Amino acid sequence: MKKTTFIFASVSAVVLAGCATFAGDDYQKMTKDMLNQSFETKGIAKHERLNQDGLQAACSEAEMTGKDLDATLRKRLEQEQLATIKMPSDGKYLGDWTKAEKIAQSGVGMAWNNKSDTVNGGNCYACHQMTKKEISFGNLGPSLYHYGKLRGNSEEVVKYTWGKLYNAKAYNACSNMPRFGHLNGLTETQIKDMTAFLLDPKSPVNQ
C-alpha cells in the first residue's frame, strides 16, 4: 500500500486503544505526554501537528469511548467545517482530468523528508477504487468508479464534489478523508483536476 503522507493529530485516537482501565483524563494526559515525548520537529513536519483542533479532539474522544458524536455537536462541527470551504477563485470548478491520475497515484508530500516546495499527491488509491485499469487500491473509502456516470454533473453535484475534496469533514465530521484544501494538502489547481477526474465523462473514472 502506498505510504500515507497526511499525518494529523487525530492519530491519538488509536494509540494505546487497549488501555481501557485508565480514567478519561488520565488516559488523555498519558497519551498526549507519550506523543509529545516521542515526536520531534524534523524538516517540514513540525511538532505543532500534534495539536488537535476542536473537531479532531471530539472525534478522538468518540473513537476512544466507542460512542458516536452527539447529534447537536456533530451538526455544529460540520457547519464550522463547511464554512472553511473556499470556492475556486475564478469560479471554475473543473480542471484538466488528464493530470489527475498522477495526483491520485502519488503518496508524496507533507512528510518530514519532503522539502517545503514538494508537490503533494492525493494518495487517493490508498482508500478508493477509481478506475477500472488500476487494480491496486484500498477500501477504507467507497469505490469512486463511475462517480460522475452515476451522479451526473449538475451544479449541485459539482459543488458537492469540490467541497468533499476541499474538506470532507464538512459532510461527515469524523471522516477519515484528509481535508485536502483546508489543510493545504492539494492546491486549488489540483483540486480542480481531481474534480474533473471524478466528473468528466471522458475520464477513465467514468469509462
Q: Long-range contacts of range 73-76, CB-CB < 8 Å, 24 or more positions apart?
A: 74/173
Tell me what pLDDT residue 19 has: 46
pLDDT given at position 25: 67
Q: CA of 123: how far to CAs of 15, 113, 185, in Å? A: 23, 17, 11
Q: What are the tens digits of pLDDT across the range 25-84?
A: 676 788 778 877 888 888 877 878 788 999 999 999 999 899 999 999 999 999 999 999
For residue 172, the domain's CATH number is 1.10.760.10
Q: Provide CB contacts within 8 A for 22, sequence distance 6+.
A: 30
Q: Is 91 exposed, middle or buried (0-12, 13-18, 19+ CB in 10 A)?
A: exposed
Distances (CA, A) of 58 to 68, 76, 135, 137: 10, 12, 35, 29
- Cα 47 to Cα 144: distance, rounded to the nearest angstrom: 34
pLDDT score for 130: 98
Q: How confident is the model at residue 8 (pLDDT cuts 50, 70, 90)?
A: very low
pLDDT tens profile 157-195: 999 999 999 999 999 999 999 999 999 999 999 999 999
What digits encode the pLDDT tens for the residues 100-131? 999 999 999 888 888 889 999 999 999 999 99
Model pLDDT, residue 23 = 54
Domain hosting 182: range is: 1-207
Q: How many domains does the chain have?
A: 1
32, burial (CB in 10 Å: exposed 0-12, middle 13-18, buried 19+): middle
